[in-house]
Structure 1
Amino acid sequence: MRRVCLTLPTHRACTGTIEAIAEEAAYGAREFGAEIHLLVLDSSPAPVLAEHRKTVAALPASPGVTVHHLDENEQRAFLREAIARTGVASGSASADRLLDLMLPSRVSYGACTNRAFLIAEALGCTSVHRRDSDSRYQAVDGEPVFPLHQELTYLGQRADGIRKSAARSKLPPGSGGRRVAVAGGSFVGEMSVDVAEIRDLDPDTYRELVGLSLPEGSPEIWRNHLIDASFRGAGNGTFDGDHTTLAPISPMRVDMCNVALDHEVYRRVPLPPATDTIGTDYFLLHLTHDAGLPGLQHNRHIVNFHTEERRTDDGFLAYQVRFAKFLLSKTYLNAVYARTAAAGDALLDAEGHIKASVVAGFVRDSADPHRAENARRLDLIDRAYRRLGGRYTAVADTLAGRRSRLLDEARDDMADFAHLMDHWEALTGASADAGLAVTR
């Protein structure tokens, strides 16, 4: 029986999302005969964690669905065992560094998904399907529109075998024998990043800031299109029937709240574990696209909304700092993406799998030369936020006070990523060996 992991990483209250994702898990088991492991990775504060435990305990039993709700202590125990199984001595500096990269004390969009990858390996799953706490499902005639339907239909299938079932096919020549490595849709509703207010306050400043996320030297017409499309997902449309495209998926066309990856991808390469930095969890989407691996893009878009926490002063400041760190990280990541795009299918071995050592080399090479460029970017970001005024002035003050640390972290995050990649395949193998006790 096919075994898959449907995961919800969270650090905030989301009882409604837990209940909804449990319905999606039941749907997948019922309609596809799959064994669904619903994995909630919970980093929430104690009162919220307690509410989540009540919600999970009250979920109706569903044939074919097993629920795992792991708090950080339980995740840490699993990670320690997996690290020890790789041969890294427990309690050593190397073991402590790996544990910190996998379970940092600060928010990390990549690290939480990396933990899902390792636990999915322990559970014997062949794919990971990720959702987020600030999202809901669309509905048609009162029935939810589950992305899992398209993910289970296409993911892992040989592209030539399912080419005719997709509405459109844009496969590169020679890639039809490869298996679908990623399936994803986007979102409708509120922008995925809290920059709508910036766009409304000062469109020119908005374009200046968002433009920093794009590669240097991009043609102006192309840049303008990408700036307009950034963080907006599929807009405000509604589901009007399935439309699917079989092709390498552009990271601009899918969202990490609505994506599934085959284990042949994530067992070889992890996501960057950078902390307090949005967007770094899109790394594997860039990689599969540049390698020409088949993907399935669908229109079962998830409904995005911003939680109340984001609307508080503290939540606003935290998210703007994460956005600024994203703009600094792109200096390094875009250098890596330029090389993966140039490498193309040379990123793949004879079996069509990602060559992790090649990717690690690109990441390691990017880790040093961009501090001066990022100092210039911080100056630009500072001026932009002060120009916006109001509560954005406090963001500028915060970034100025952390200037040296931010520049160091942007560089060190890439070195940490390369270090994690050096150990990753040993970690995925050790996780598979360790297994995970069934919790329900």
Structure 2
Amino acid sequence: MRRICLALPTDRACTPMLHELAEEAAYGVSHFDVEIAVLVLDSSSPTDYAEHARVLAALPLQPGIEVVHLDESAQRAFLQHVIKDAALNEPERILDLMLPGRRSYGACTNRAFVIAAALGCESVHRRDSDCTYQELDGAKIFPIHHELTIGTTAAAARERVSAVDLAPGSDDLPVVMAGASFIGDMSVDIDDIRQRDPEIYYEVVSLWAPGDAPEAEKRALVAESFTGAGTTPFRADESVLTMVDPMRVDMSNIAFHRVQEQVPLPPATDTIGSDYFLMHLVHDAGLPGVQHNRHIVNLHTGERKTDAGFASYQLALTKFFLSMLYLHFVYERMGVAGSALRDAHGDVDAAAVAGIVRQSIQLPVDENVDRLDKLGSAYRRLGGRHADFAETLVVRRSALLDEARQDMDDFAVLIDGWQSLIKASISAGAGLLT
């Protein structure tokens, strides 16, 4: 029987989502021949962690469901063991990249990948704590319904989708990803800028386009950025076996098979979007996936609206813009490499990916200097908290430029050791997690 991991990384109180996650697991084992490890990686406060533990312990679990709830201390102990067993160079650096002292969307998902391997899970299905599920006629619409198509070949998956859009010769390749998007709040919390001044909104959002992108391309990018699947609610299932467009799926509604054990996500700290890399790799390597329409509902938490939350979020958005100097280069080179990034069995050449990442580190930073100048100018015109944040960019300019480059160097180092880390985790097994 297949064993899969339904993973929820969180650093906030989220008891409603824990109940819903358990409902999705129950749906999975009731409708499919699977066992499910519900993995909650909990970086929340001690009070919230205790409440989460109480809720999870009280859940009426069906046979075939196991709950694994780990605070950061337990995660660190596990990682220290498997890093040692993997005999990696710079073990302390690897530990810091896996469990940094600051928020990292890539690192928290990387921990889910490694721990899922120890739990004997062949795929990882990720949700977020600031999301919920759509409903139709009183029934929740769970993405796992389509995600369990992964793990088959494209040929076998053809009968489980409503449409197929694959190039000839793809049938023997594994289906390694399934995903959908979201409805509800924007994925990036900047709708206040869009409402106040659409032109400044364009100036800000267009900063994630390549520096030499033509105006029409930037306008098109801004028009579709961060809005997910819009507002139309779910009415009936649609699923396409295809090379999934990274712009059409979201990391709160995603599942990976195999590829997450071959290449990790960038472990950049304080950087939104750092967890989207594998979507691009799967697409560029020509690996099949399933794109479906069981979109989740995205919610904005109140913490983002506080002064501290605002500043933290704006920093993460700024670092996202700066990361694109390097990631656009990497995505372009991966797109050129195409199927050469993988073998005939669909396994990714991690060394080739690491090589491209290292090439990006050599790029001049002029484009990022320009990004910081433009962001600062736009925020000063907005005034208030945005103008205050713009002043912090002046002080932190050199550090931010250096961090963006260092993040890519760290990513390459983690890619180098990733498969050894996964193998050590599989060897260690679940015993270290109890």
Output the TM-score relative to the length of structure 1. Answer: 0.96
Is 1:99 the counterpart of 2:95 in the alignment? yes
Residue number in structure 1 paired with 2:197? 202
Q: Which residue of 2 aligns with 1:178?
A: 173
1:411 maps to 405
Change in Cα spacing, 1:168 to 1:217, as seen in structure 2 (3 Å) is farther
Match for residue 58 of structure 1? 58
Amino acid at match of 1:278: I
2:368 aligns with 374
Report 1:218-233 matches (<5 A). Answer: 218-233=213-228
Report the Cα distance in structure 2 between the residues aligned to 1:150 and 1:32, rounded to whole angstroms. Answer: 11
CA–CA distance in 2 between the matches of 1:203 and 1:175? Answer: 43
- For structure 1, which segment, 106-115 or 51-60, has the greater mean C-alpha deviation from structure 2 after superposition? 51-60
1:2-401 aligned at under 5 Å gives the runs 2-88=2-88, 94-152=90-148, 154-262=149-257, 264-401=258-395
Contact (CA 8 Å) 1:331, 1:370: kept in 2 or not? Answer: no
Write the letter of the residue equivalent to 1:247: T
**What is the RMSD of the two structures over their aligned residues, measured on CA atoms?**
1.4
1:344 counterpart SS class: helix
Q: Which amino acid aligns with 1:71?
A: D
Equivalent pair of 1:172/1:292 in contact (CA under 8 Å): no
Amino acid at match of 1:4: I
The letter for the 1-side match of 2:237 is D
- SS of equivalent to 2:208: coil
Name the CA distance, whole Å, in 2 between partners of 1:339 and 1:220: 23
Aligned-residue offset at 1:28: 0.6
Instruction: Decide whether aligned partners of structure 1 residues 111 and 123 sit closer, same or farther in structure 2, where only a CA change above 3 A counts.
Output: same
Cα shift at 1:352: 1.9
Which of 108-117 and 22-31 deviates more? 22-31
Q: Aligned partners of 1:343 and 1:190: how far apart in 2?
A: 36
Distance 1:141 1:289 in 2: 35
Distance (Å, rounded) in 2 between the aligned partners of 1:29 and 1:401: 53
**2:211·2:367 contact (CA, 8 Å) conserved in 1?**
no
SS at match of 1:280: coil
Is structure 2 residue 415 aligned with structure 1 residue 425? Answer: no
Q: How many residues align?
A: 434
Contact 2:174 2:345 in 1 (8 A): no
CA distance in 1, matches of 2:432, 2:97: 26
- State the 1:206 CA deviation: 1.2
Output one character per residue of 1:162-199: Cα deviation in whole Å (capped at 9) or x when no partner. 22442221112221221111000100000011111111
Matched-pair contact (CA < 8 Å) for 1:114–1:271: yes
Aligned-residue offset at 1:216: 3.5
- Tell me by how many angstroms 1:9 deviates: 0.1
Tell me if structure 2 keeps the 8 A contact 1:25–1:36.
yes
Larger mean Cα displacement after TM superposition, 231-240 or 364-373: 364-373
Q: Which TM-score applies when normalising by structure 2? A: 0.97
Structure 1 residues 65, 414: CA separation in 2 closer, same or farther (over 3 Å shift)?
same
Q: Point out where structure 1 has 5 or more consecutive residues left out of the alignment.
A: none
Q: Give runs of ≥4 in structure 1 deviating > 4 Å.
A: none
Counterpart Cα distance in 2 of 1:328 and 1:341 = 21
Identity %: 55
Work out the CA distance in 2 between the residues paired with 1:71 and 1:52.
11
C-alpha separation in 2, matches of 1:432 and 1:269:
16
